Structure 1
Amino acid sequence: MKYQSGKIKKEHHILSDFKKVLESIEKIPQVKRIIPGRIYRKQKGSSHKKISFSYKTESGMKFIMKKGGTAQEVFVLCGTQDKEFILNKINAIEI
Protein backbone atom coordinates (compact mmCIF):
# COMPACT_ATOMS: atom_id res chain seq x y z
CA MET A 1 0.00 0.00 0.00
CA LYS A 2 1.31 3.46 -0.90
CA TYR A 3 0.56 6.58 1.04
CA GLN A 4 2.22 9.88 1.70
CA SER A 5 2.84 11.80 4.87
CA GLY A 6 4.03 15.28 3.98
CA LYS A 7 6.84 14.89 1.44
CA ILE A 8 7.69 11.31 2.49
CA LYS A 9 6.11 8.59 0.35
CA LYS A 10 5.57 5.47 2.44
CA GLU A 11 5.46 2.44 0.18
CA HIS A 12 8.09 0.46 2.09
CA HIS A 13 8.96 0.40 5.76
CA ILE A 14 11.45 2.98 6.96
CA LEU A 15 14.41 2.05 9.15
CA SER A 16 13.37 3.33 12.57
CA ASP A 17 16.82 4.83 13.24
CA PHE A 18 16.43 7.11 10.22
CA LYS A 19 12.91 8.50 10.66
CA LYS A 20 14.26 11.71 12.21
CA VAL A 21 16.82 12.05 9.40
CA LEU A 22 14.05 11.83 6.80
CA GLU A 23 12.00 14.37 8.74
CA SER A 24 15.02 16.72 8.69
CA ILE A 25 15.39 16.27 4.93
CA GLU A 26 11.66 16.89 4.54
CA LYS A 27 12.10 20.36 6.11
CA ILE A 28 14.44 21.50 3.29
CA PRO A 29 12.11 23.69 1.16
CA GLN A 30 13.72 22.71 -2.16
CA VAL A 31 12.98 18.98 -1.60
CA LYS A 32 9.83 18.02 -3.51
CA ARG A 33 9.47 14.42 -2.37
CA ILE A 34 11.31 11.65 -0.48
CA ILE A 35 10.88 8.05 -1.57
CA PRO A 36 12.39 5.36 0.68
CA GLY A 37 13.17 2.11 -1.14
CA ARG A 38 13.47 -1.50 -0.08
CA ILE A 39 15.43 -2.52 2.99
CA TYR A 40 18.37 -4.85 2.38
CA ARG A 41 20.12 -7.08 4.89
CA LYS A 42 23.83 -7.81 4.57
CA GLN A 43 26.18 -10.19 6.35
CA LYS A 44 28.61 -7.56 7.59
CA GLY A 45 28.25 -3.99 8.61
CA SER A 46 29.22 -1.28 11.01
CA SER A 47 26.98 -0.47 13.96
CA HIS A 48 27.36 3.23 13.11
CA LYS A 49 24.48 4.97 11.38
CA LYS A 50 25.29 6.82 8.19
CA ILE A 51 23.65 8.25 5.13
CA SER A 52 25.77 8.46 2.03
CA PHE A 53 25.26 10.01 -1.38
CA SER A 54 25.08 7.46 -4.18
CA TYR A 55 24.42 9.35 -7.44
CA LYS A 56 22.36 12.06 -9.11
CA THR A 57 19.33 11.18 -11.23
CA GLU A 58 17.36 13.29 -13.70
CA SER A 59 14.75 14.05 -11.06
CA GLY A 60 16.93 14.23 -7.95
CA MET A 61 19.46 12.12 -6.03
CA LYS A 62 19.86 8.68 -4.52
CA PHE A 63 21.20 8.09 -1.01
CA ILE A 64 21.90 4.95 1.01
CA MET A 65 21.07 4.82 4.72
CA LYS A 66 23.05 2.17 6.63
CA LYS A 67 23.20 0.79 10.14
CA GLY A 68 24.71 -2.53 11.04
CA GLY A 69 23.94 -5.09 8.37
CA THR A 70 20.90 -3.16 7.15
CA ALA A 71 20.73 -0.69 4.27
CA GLN A 72 17.92 1.26 2.62
CA GLU A 73 17.87 3.32 -0.56
CA VAL A 74 16.31 6.77 -0.41
CA PHE A 75 15.44 8.88 -3.44
CA VAL A 76 15.20 12.64 -2.92
CA LEU A 77 13.32 14.43 -5.69
CA CYS A 78 14.21 18.04 -6.41
CA GLY A 79 14.89 20.55 -9.17
CA THR A 80 18.14 20.36 -11.14
CA GLN A 81 19.41 23.69 -9.85
CA ASP A 82 18.84 22.66 -6.21
CA LYS A 83 20.84 19.40 -6.15
CA GLU A 84 24.14 20.78 -4.81
CA PHE A 85 22.37 22.88 -2.17
CA ILE A 86 20.32 19.90 -0.97
CA LEU A 87 23.36 17.61 -1.01
CA ASN A 88 25.23 20.04 1.26
CA LYS A 89 22.23 20.32 3.61
CA ILE A 90 21.87 16.52 3.88
CA ASN A 91 25.61 16.10 4.50
CA ALA A 92 25.28 18.60 7.37
CA ILE A 93 22.50 16.63 9.12
CA GLU A 94 23.67 14.96 12.31
CA ILE A 95 22.81 11.30 12.34
Structure 2
Amino acid sequence: MKHYTADVKFGRIKRQHGRVGGLDELLNRIVRDCPHVSRIVPGRIKVRRGKTPPSFKVQYPTEAGLKCLFTGTGTVQEVFLICSDSAAARQWLIDSGMVQSDE
Protein backbone atom coordinates (compact mmCIF):
# COMPACT_ATOMS: atom_id res chain seq x y z
CA MET A 1 0.00 0.00 0.00
CA LYS A 2 1.36 3.40 -0.97
CA HIS A 3 1.73 6.04 1.75
CA TYR A 4 1.09 9.64 0.74
CA THR A 5 2.17 11.56 3.84
CA ALA A 6 5.63 12.40 2.50
CA ASP A 7 4.27 13.44 -0.91
CA VAL A 8 1.62 15.92 0.25
CA LYS A 9 2.50 19.56 -0.34
CA PHE A 10 1.05 21.64 2.47
CA GLY A 11 -0.04 25.25 2.30
CA ARG A 12 -1.29 24.97 -1.28
CA ILE A 13 -4.44 25.23 -3.36
CA LYS A 14 -4.98 22.49 -5.91
CA ARG A 15 -4.91 24.27 -9.29
CA GLN A 16 -5.76 21.26 -11.45
CA HIS A 17 -9.50 21.90 -11.15
CA GLY A 18 -11.35 24.96 -12.42
CA ARG A 19 -12.61 27.62 -10.06
CA VAL A 20 -15.51 30.04 -10.41
CA GLY A 21 -14.89 33.77 -10.63
CA GLY A 22 -14.08 35.48 -7.35
CA LEU A 23 -13.02 32.30 -5.56
CA ASP A 24 -9.23 32.53 -6.05
CA GLU A 25 -8.79 35.64 -3.89
CA LEU A 26 -10.81 34.08 -1.06
CA LEU A 27 -8.91 30.78 -1.17
CA ASN A 28 -5.55 32.54 -1.30
CA ARG A 29 -6.45 34.48 1.85
CA ILE A 30 -7.60 31.35 3.69
CA VAL A 31 -4.50 29.27 2.88
CA ARG A 32 -2.19 32.22 3.63
CA ASP A 33 -3.78 33.45 6.88
CA CYS A 34 -5.59 30.54 8.56
CA PRO A 35 -3.12 28.47 10.63
CA HIS A 36 -5.51 25.49 10.76
CA VAL A 37 -5.91 24.98 6.98
CA SER A 38 -3.05 23.13 5.30
CA ARG A 39 -4.52 22.53 1.84
CA ILE A 40 -7.54 23.50 -0.26
CA VAL A 41 -9.13 21.32 -2.94
CA PRO A 42 -11.80 22.96 -5.13
CA GLY A 43 -14.56 20.52 -6.07
CA ARG A 44 -17.31 20.30 -8.66
CA ILE A 45 -19.01 23.33 -10.14
CA LYS A 46 -22.78 23.37 -10.63
CA VAL A 47 -24.70 25.84 -12.74
CA ARG A 48 -27.84 27.33 -11.22
CA ARG A 49 -30.38 29.96 -12.03
CA GLY A 50 -30.59 33.32 -10.40
CA LYS A 51 -28.24 36.10 -9.47
CA THR A 52 -27.18 35.96 -5.87
CA PRO A 53 -24.30 37.88 -4.36
CA PRO A 54 -21.13 35.82 -3.79
CA SER A 55 -21.14 33.91 -0.51
CA PHE A 56 -18.97 31.31 1.21
CA LYS A 57 -20.40 28.92 3.79
CA VAL A 58 -19.32 25.86 5.72
CA GLN A 59 -21.60 22.97 4.82
CA TYR A 60 -20.34 20.23 7.19
CA PRO A 61 -17.17 18.72 8.70
CA THR A 62 -15.50 15.79 6.94
CA GLU A 63 -12.84 13.33 8.15
CA ALA A 64 -10.12 15.54 6.66
CA GLY A 65 -11.54 18.98 7.42
CA LEU A 66 -14.51 21.01 6.16
CA LYS A 67 -16.74 20.91 3.10
CA CYS A 68 -17.72 24.42 2.03
CA LEU A 69 -19.80 25.96 -0.74
CA PHE A 70 -18.96 29.10 -2.69
CA THR A 71 -21.96 30.61 -4.44
CA GLY A 72 -21.31 33.03 -7.27
CA THR A 73 -23.51 34.50 -9.98
CA GLY A 74 -25.14 31.49 -11.59
CA THR A 75 -22.72 28.94 -10.09
CA VAL A 76 -22.06 26.95 -6.93
CA GLN A 77 -18.68 25.31 -6.26
CA GLU A 78 -17.73 22.80 -3.60
CA VAL A 79 -14.52 23.63 -1.72
CA PHE A 80 -12.77 21.18 0.61
CA LEU A 81 -10.55 22.65 3.33
CA ILE A 82 -8.00 20.15 4.69
CA CYS A 83 -7.59 21.12 8.35
CA SER A 84 -5.55 20.16 11.38
CA ASP A 85 -8.46 21.36 13.58
CA SER A 86 -11.86 21.66 11.86
CA ALA A 87 -13.60 23.47 14.72
CA ALA A 88 -10.81 26.04 15.02
CA ALA A 89 -10.76 26.56 11.24
CA ARG A 90 -14.53 27.10 11.20
CA GLN A 91 -14.24 29.61 14.04
CA TRP A 92 -11.41 31.40 12.21
CA LEU A 93 -13.62 31.71 9.11
CA ILE A 94 -16.41 33.21 11.26
CA ASP A 95 -14.06 35.57 13.12
CA SER A 96 -12.50 36.77 9.86
CA GLY A 97 -15.95 37.55 8.43
CA MET A 98 -15.72 35.04 5.58
CA VAL A 99 -18.71 33.03 6.79
CA GLN A 100 -21.59 33.82 9.11
CA SER A 101 -22.28 31.88 12.29
CA ASP A 102 -25.30 29.55 12.25
CA GLU A 103 -26.26 30.68 15.72
Q: Do both proteins adopt the same fold according to a TM-score greater than 0.5, normalized to the shorter chain?
A: yes
Out of 15, 35, 47, the residue aligned to residue 20 of structure 2 is 15
Q: Residue 44 of structure 1 aligns to a residue in which SS?
A: coil
How high is the TM-score relative to the length of structure 2?
0.75
Q: Percent identity?
A: 31
Cα displacement string for residues 28-79 of structure 1 (whole angstroms, at most 9, x for unaligned residues)? 1221110001211012341x11001111001101000001221100000112
C-alpha distance in 2 between matches for 1:93 and 1:21: 11
**2:60 is equivalent to residue 55 of structure 1:** yes
SS of residue in 1 equivalent to 2:78? strand
Matches within 5 A, 1:80-91: 82-91=85-94
CA distance in structure 2 between the partners assigned to 1:18 and 1:93 by the alignment: 15
**Which one has the bigger strand percentage?**
1
Rg bigger for which structure?
2
Counterpart residue identity of residue 84, structure 1 = A
Aligned residue pairs, count? 89
* Offset at residue 93 of structure 1 (A): 3.9
- CA contact 2:21–2:72 (8 Å) conserved in 1: no
Partner residue, 1:34: 40
More helix by share: 1
Distance 2:49 2:23 in 1: 20
Task: Extract structure 1 runs of 4+ deviating beyond 4 A.
Answer: none
